[in-house]
């Protein structure tokens, strides 16, 4: 099934006709075509048993595909040495998988040492990555995994996956084992890292809110390993491909669209003639419509000011929010 979407012209990961049938006859994934662009973050989402984790594990061949080909950076990896392949791909799982009897520094140093780096270079790289994920090496390098919170252990898992500077990062429910508040913080931290590093990321989640918040594109899998839709978050929420996708994204899809739709200057109104009594707080033009609506409701005003830095560029009203939502699907 070809549901690859319009996608980038240069795929970093390309799956063609990929399928997996287990020995008991279960079809986990069926005839899957999927492109992931270079530097793109793609989320695989769907109900339990739909094949999303199987698909992820076939990319680094923790599970061998029954049919089809998998290309990474233009080369077919289905015939390569699987261990060597995995060493060049970052992998983060829900339970982290840290070595419990090694200190945090040693956990992060593992992959560079496997590649033959000296201990001094591997240690320096480990400390750089710990700082990058928000863990001060002076505080955490000598601790053991059991001395860290769940969120801190997850950060170490991300640091270890990045230690060899892999072009591709695979993440299987990476934030699922922490409480909701920590989960949002980890999502924000990872999005910040991704904006700096530009890795090609495939992330598995069962949570549609996480998928549309994190993903440049989202692949929705249905039961039986069928790819039901592969699209941008805005298009997925606004134009479900079939009844299954519509049910999966839920009746609140319109509200979720607010979280992924940015303010568009085309839908702002001029400052001229606006009474200061009608104008609430100001918000940056890079904000989402959800953030804008939250400010409108908080201030109980008919409009809010929109600025770029310190420069006012217009005002946004509820009608402007509605127009922006409709325009995002054109």
pLDDT tens sequence for the chain (330 residues): 444 454 555 899 999 999 999 999 899 999 999 999 999 999 999 998 899 999 999 999 999 999 999 999 999 999 889 988 988 899 988 766 788 999 999 999 988 888 888 999 999 999 999 998 889 999 999 999 999 988 888 889 898 888 888 999 999 988 876 788 888 888 998 999 899 999 999 999 999 999 999 999 999 999 889 999 999 999 999 899 999 999 998 867 777 888 888 898 888 988 776 666 677 788 999 999 989 999 988 988 888 889 998 888 889 988 888 888 888 777
Task: Report angle CA 195, 201, 207 to the nearest 5 degrees.
Answer: 100
Segments of the chain assigned E as strands: 11-21, 27-37, 41-45, 67-72, 75-76, 89-93, 168-172, 200-205, 217-222, 226-231, 279-284, 303-308, 311-316
DSSP 1: -
Q: Which residues contact 42 (CB under 8 A, 6 or more apart)?
A: 36, 201, 202, 203, 215, 216, 217, 218, 219
Name the DSSP letter for residue 216.
S
- Specify burial of residue 29 (Cβ count, 10 A radius: 0-12, 13-18, 19+): buried
Name the residue with tokens 């303010």. 263
Assess contact for 170 and 89: CB atoms under 8 A.
Answer: yes
Global pTM value: 0.83
Q: How open is the CA angle 111-113-119, to the nearest 5 degrees?
A: 135
Domains of the chain and CATH, by start? 11-258 (3.40.50.300), 262-327 (3.90.1280.20)
């Amino acid at each position: 099934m070809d549901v690859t979407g319009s996608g980038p012209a240069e795929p970093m990961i390309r799956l063609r006709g990929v399928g997996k049938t287990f020995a008991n006859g279960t079809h986990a994934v069926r005839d899957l075509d999927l492109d992931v662009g270079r530097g793109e973050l793609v989320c695989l989402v769907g109900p339990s048993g739909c094949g999303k984790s199987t698909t992820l594990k076939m990319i680094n061949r923790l599970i061998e595909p029954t049919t089809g080909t998998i290309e990474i950076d233009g080369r077919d990896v289905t015939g390569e040495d699987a261990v060597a392949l995995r060493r060049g791909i970052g992998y983060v799982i829900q339970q982290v998988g840290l070595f419990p009897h090694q200190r945090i520094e040693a956990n992060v140093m593992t992959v560079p040492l496997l590649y033959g780096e000296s201990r001094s270079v591997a240690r320096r790289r480990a400390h750089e990555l710990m700082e990058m994920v928000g863990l001060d090496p002076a505080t955490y390098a000598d601790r053991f995994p059991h001395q860290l919170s769940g969120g801190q252990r997850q950060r170490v898992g991300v640091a270890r996956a990045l230690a060899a500077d892999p072009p591709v990062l695979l993440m299987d429910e990476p934030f699922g084992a922490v409480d909701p508040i920590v989960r949002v913080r980890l999502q924000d931290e990872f999005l910040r890292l991704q904006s700096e590093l530009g890795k090609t990321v495939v992330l598995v989640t069962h949570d549609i809110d996480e998928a549309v918040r994190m993903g440049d594109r989202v692949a929705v899998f249905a039961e039986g390993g069928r790819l039901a839709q592969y699209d941008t978050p805005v298009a997925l929420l606004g134009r479900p491909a079939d009844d299954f996708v519509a049910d999966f994204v839920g009746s609140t899809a319109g509200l979720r669209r607010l979280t992924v739709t940015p303010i568009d200057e085309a839908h702002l109104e001029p400052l001229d003639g606006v009474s200061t009594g009608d104008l609430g707080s100001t918000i940056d033009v890079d904000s989402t419509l959800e953030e804008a609506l939250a400010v409108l409701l908080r201030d109980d005003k008919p409009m809010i000011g929109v600025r770029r830095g310190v420069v006012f560029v217009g005002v946004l009203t509820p009608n402007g929010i509605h127009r922006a939502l409709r325009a995002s699907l054109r």
